[in-house]
Amino acid sequence: FVSIRREDYMPFPWLVPQVAMDFALGLDETRVVTTLTVERNPAAEASKTIRLNGDEIVPVEVTVDGEGWSDWCMDGDDLLVTLPGAAHTIAVTTHIAPAANTKLMGLYASDGMLCTQCEAEGFRRIAFFPDRPDVLSTYRVRMSGDREAFPVLLCNGNLEAEGEDGEAHWAEWHDPWPKPSYLFALVAGQLVANSDSFTTMGGREVALNIWVRDGDLPRTGHAMESLKKSMKWDEEVFGREYDLDLFNIVAVSDFNMGAMENKGLNVFNTKYVLADEETATDGDFDGIEAVIAHEYFHNWSGNRVTCRDWFQLSLKEGFTVLRDQLFSQDMGSAPVKRIEDVRILRGVQFPEDSGPLAHPIRPDSYQEISNFYTSTIYNKGAEVIRMMRTMAGPERFRAGTDLYFERHDGEAATCEDFVRAMEDGAGLDLKQFRLWYAQAGTPKVTARLEHSGDTATLHLSQHVPATPGQPDKKPMPIPLKLALYDRDSRERGAEQLVVLDGEELTLGYPGFATRPVLSINRGFSAPIVVEREVSSDELVFLATHDDDPFARYEALQELVVRHLKAGASGTLSAEARQEGELAVADAMAAVLADSDLDDLMRGELLLLPSETYVAETMERADPAVIHAERQGLRASLARALETEFLALYERAAAVPFAMSAEAKGARKVKTQALAYLAAAFPDRAAEMAFAQYASADNMTDRQGALMVLTGLDVVERTNALIDFYNRYQGNALVIDKWFALQASSMHPHCLEHVRALADHRDFTLKNPNRVRSLYMAFAANPHAFHAADGEGYRMIADLILALDPINPQTASRFVPPLGRWRRIEPGRSALMKAQLERLAAADLSRDTAEQVSRSLG
Ligand code: HT7
Ligand code: ZN
């Protein structure tokens, strides 16, 4: 498989200002005639041939300027047409088999309806076309099909005409906005809409529709509210107004990712549309709000200003993730959202950045672009833009984004264009900051505070670790928000924004008679690892008194990680262990007792760092030891704070169901209290959990109780699992939860449970949600995945081999868990590597082959 390199970018020799498509729709066969108006691109080197990309399609007929044409040939999957002049019309007919398309890219069938997924390179599975994001065209689309099978016919833009034709009917759509092919979409099927409207700040009345299967209509209210809130927020905060009279969303149950921002016709995974309190958790509701916002925000950051090439993916994805994060912060609790976002970054992106798949947010090469829809591109990309915002402040940042949109509206832009607009609009000097786009790896900042006389001196230094292909790194500008606390008065000095842009920096702080306490990287102002010399005492102080919610959370996490690592090292004496447990218990007791905290925040503080995160802080981790330490600490905390956890449970259980922050917080801490109690008092907790399960009037409580029960070896576990399945049979999204709960459980026989579930009649490799609910949950469950005999690794490798021919994009996403082999203790490491080698010897798709070879490399 060949590598595509960023430095080889060349503009396409032809412009394609207009595209006309005619679809004769059928599930088994769809016929497509695509007519391209092409003209030489004056900005590119001239070529007599035009390369039209294709993938698993054949040209049935080719005409140029209306005449049958023979001057064409195939080059691999691509169609090369030789053209005599500077402007022509090319028409190519293709036949597609949507029902046989299990890759879910291009045109495919889902639940009897037809839908498309074109990003990144799916359009070439529908029509021969220069399938690259810098070729922008306006589209006119006619589709016809059986009226009963496809009563609803949707495409991008505006509906211009429709009519009947015997048993069939047809519709003509026109999208006035030039767009790249990856934003094309078509949907045809039996759908019903939740319809509403939104009036934009400029007075445009926009018709809004959320299209779903008939029975799902009652579960679309939250998505519609989220859409209207997103439209309003983008006007108020970024000055962005919607630009068509119609905005359609369609929910489909077979989808490779979360959702897709096609112009005027977003296609969503049902998981990010359908919700009511009976079937969706508070987390599901939040996820829907965030994803609806994300896709809507793409209308400007992605669609109006798109990417020049796929190396610029973070231009639209990083920026749009930041926009959706800021939106969610404004819709709910800002500190809690920030902590959640950092948890995702550290749980997924940091491991990626320290492993064999590390890449900069603007990569230099790829074989298969789908493999680069990563947490680095999305989440680290968002952090990089957030740092610019932190350095500029919100007003100047807005001036920068206004300039970016104004300068590049209607263009295919680069990350460099964005940075330049930020320099000019926000008044930042970003010369050195550009390194954040070019260098992979999570920088490590060491902070050492000295105190002598009445002065504190802070020594900061940075190190960016080597990553594949990048052995030597330059220092990067790291914006650090910091403050010093007077230990006795508990007063905080002014918060400062320091940019560490060299290898080292020393800062002096006079006026401290005693050694102050350092609060650093407040708000997680930079996506880095901080290593600080700090006593447990100081961490307890920060965990209790820091007025920055993130810093407070961070201090508690650090205290726990330090304790767990000491335990995992095997050198901890019984007294030292007890002392460590006591320090954590004291800090947790303060969290439980603090009446100034709301429960949503309390819930964050009570969460123990994940086993993956603890492992990430070690050179080589033994997952079994970390698991035992973490469970041990949980049990010891439950014993030490039994009364407090019981009181918390009772207080929270008395709060009636509502969607308020208060009630959501109560649900969050209630299940956490239960999970703690289960670690020390399994029988009592099982009784409480079963009671919570049986009396739950919402999915958050029911799923929380079932989560606790699935981890216990008790009779209530089986009863609750049977009840849950029977209660929700037929509701695919809830049955996904049923699979995922068992695959992510703390139960000692989790692996055997997963093996049995793979044979369950409801399990299928054809549906990505179902595959992820069983196997992604399992691969993210360290104690089961890292079974000492390597059976977890074998299971994932078996899955990859079975899934790869069906859906390579989804299959390749299971390689990274095995790719962690170098960071795991030697015994397991060898077993992981052996499974990767077994995969490397197989005949794999480009997607999976690339991930396997990078993981071994
Ligand atoms: N921009 C969308 C990416 C996407 C995608 C990529 C590859 C294969 C399937 C896909 N479905 C959606 C989603 C987003 O970030 O908004
Ligand atoms: Zn996106």
CA 302 to ligand 1: nearest atom: 1
**Residues 180, 47 share a domain:** yes
Domain end among 436, 454, 471: 436
Give the CATH number, domain containing residue 27.
2.60.40.1730
CA 378 to ligand 1: nearest atom: 15
**Residues 486, 388 share a domain:** no
- Is 290's C-beta closer than 6 angstroms to any atom of ligand 1? no
**Residues 178, 29 share a domain:** yes
- Is 230's C-beta closer than 6 angstroms to any atom of ligand 1? no
SS3 state of residue 166: coil
Instruction: Spot the catalytic one: 119, 172, 295, 581.
Output: 295
**Residues 258, 208 share a domain:** yes
Provide the residue range defining the domain that includes 428: 310-436
**Residues 473, 389 share a domain:** no
- Is 261's C-beta closer than 6 angstroms to any atom of ligand 1? yes
For residue 67 the two structure tokens come to 């005449």
Q: Are 27 and 114 within 8 A, CB to CB?
A: yes
Give the tens place of pLDDT for each residue, 374-397: 999 999 999 999 999 999 999 999
- Is 847's C-beta closer than 6 angstroms to any atom of ligand 1? no
**Residues 397, 351 share a domain:** yes
What's the CA gap between 148 and 145, in Å, rounded? Answer: 9
SS3 state of residue 810: helix
Q: How confident is the model at residue 770 (pLDDT cuts 50, 70, 90)?
A: very high
> Is the residue at 183 inside a domain?
yes
Ligand 1 pocket check: which of 104, 107, 119 to mutate, most ligand atoms within 8 Å of Cβ?
119
What's the CA gap between 436 and 94, in Å, rounded? Answer: 44
- Is 528's C-beta closer than 6 angstroms to any atom of ligand 1? no
Cα of 122 from ligand 1 centre, angstroms:
11
DSSP one-letter string for 100-139: G-TT--EEEEETTEEEEE-TTTTGGGTS-B--STT--EEE
For residue 748 the two structure tokens come to 């000692």
Cα of 48 from ligand 1 centre, angstroms:
34
Question: How many other CB atoms sit within 10 Å of the CB of residue 93?
Answer: 17
Cα of 295 from ligand 2 centre, angstroms:
6
> Is the residue at 806 inside a domain?
yes
- Is 295's C-beta closer than 6 angstroms to any atom of ligand 1? yes
Examine the residue annotation and report whether 295 is marked as an active-site residue of this protein.
yes
What's the CA gap between 396 and 422, in Å, rounded? Answer: 9
**Residues 472, 383 share a domain:** no
Q: Are 485 and 541 within 8 A, CB to CB?
A: yes
How many structural domains compose the chain?
5
For residue 120, say if its preceding peptide bond is cis, omega within 30 degrees of 0: yes
Q: Are 187 and 250 within 8 A, CB to CB?
A: yes
CA 255 to ligand 1: nearest atom: 11
Q: What is the pLDDT of residue 85?
A: 98
Ligand 1 pocket check: which of 105, 257, 319 to mutate, most ligand atoms within 8 Å of Cβ?
257
> Is the residue at 495 inside a domain?
yes
Q: Give the closest ligand to the alpha carbon of residue 262.
A: 1
Q: What is the pLDDT of residue 522?
A: 98
φ/ψ of residue 782, rounded to 5: -55, -40
Question: How many other CB atoms sit within 10 Å of the CB of residue 656?
Answer: 7
**Residues 45, 97 share a domain:** yes
> Is the residue at 461 inside a domain?
yes
Arithmetic mean of pLDDT, 607-623: 97
- Is 282's C-beta closer than 6 angstroms to any atom of ligand 1? no
- Is 260's C-beta closer than 6 angstroms to any atom of ligand 1? yes
> Is the residue at 597 inside a domain?
no
Q: Give the closest ligand to the alpha carbon of residue 106.
A: 1
Residue linked to tokens 């079994």: 624
Q: Are 769 and 111 within 8 A, CB to CB?
A: no
Give the CATH number, domain containing residue 286.
3.30.2010.30
Domain end among 299, 325, 341: 299
φ/ψ of residue 355, rounded to 5: -120, -170
**Residues 365, 479 share a domain:** no
Q: Mean pLDDT across the chain, nearest whole number? A: 98
Q: What is the pLDDT of residue 409?
A: 99
Q: What is the pLDDT of residue 419?
A: 99
pTM of the model: 0.99
Arithmetic mean of pLDDT, 285-299: 99
What's the CA gap between 235 and 230, in Å, rounded? Answer: 9
Q: What is the pLDDT of residue 753?
A: 98
SS3 state of residue 360: coil
- Residue list, CB under 5 A from ion ligand 2: 317, 320
> Is the residue at 662 inside a domain?
no
Task: Tell me how many helices (H) and strands (E) the chain has.
Answer: 31, 31
Burial 532-562 (b: 16+ CB within 10 A, else e): bebebebbbbbbbbbebbbbbbbbbbbbbbb
Cα of 137 from ligand 2 centre, angstroms:
21
Task: Give ipTM to 2 decimals.
Answer: 0.98
DSSP one-letter string for 264-313: TEEEEEGGGT---TTT--HHHHHHHHHHHHHHHHTTTBTTTBEESSGGGH
What's the CA gap between 226 and 293, in Å, rounded? Answer: 7
Q: How confident is the model at residue 632 (pLDDT cuts 50, 70, 90)?
A: very high
Q: What is the pLDDT of residue 642?
A: 98
Give the tens place of pLDDT for each residue, 695-719: 999 999 999 999 999 999 999 999 9
- Is 117's C-beta closer than 6 angstroms to any atom of ligand 1? yes
Q: Give the closest ligand to the alpha carbon of residue 292.
A: 1
- Is 120's C-beta closer than 6 angstroms to any atom of ligand 1? yes
Domain end among 436, 469, 490: 436
CB-based contacts of 439, cutoff 8 Å, min separation 6? 360, 464, 467, 470, 473, 474, 476
For residue 85 the two structure tokens come to 């002049």
Question: How many other CB atoms sit within 10 Å of the CB of residue 233?
Answer: 21
User: How many CA atoms, within 13 angstroms, populate the side-chain half-sphere of residue 568?
Assistant: 25
Arithmetic mean of pLDDT, 798-816: 99
- Residue 459 forms beta bridges with which residues? 448, 506
Q: What is the pLDDT of residue 189?
A: 98
What's the CA gap between 603 and 553, in Å, rounded? Answer: 10
Cα of 295 from ligand 1 centre, angstroms:
10
Q: What is the pLDDT of residue 417?
A: 99
Nearest protein CA to atom 12 of ligand 1, as residue: 260
Calculate what percentage of the chain has a pLDDT beyond 70: 100
Q: Are 139 and 167 within 8 A, CB to CB?
A: no
> Is the residue at 594 inside a domain?
no
Between β-strands 478-485 and 14-24, what pairing exists: parallel, antiparallel or unpaired?
unpaired
> Is the residue at 710 inside a domain?
no
**Residues 418, 287 share a domain:** no
Calculate what percentage of the chain has a pLDDT beyond 90: 100
In angstroms, the first-to-last Cα distance of the chain is: 15
| H or E element, residue 446 | strand 444-452
**Residues 278, 243 share a domain:** yes
Among candidate residues 410, 241, 279, the one with its CA nearest the CA of residue 699: 279
**Residues 205, 257 share a domain:** yes
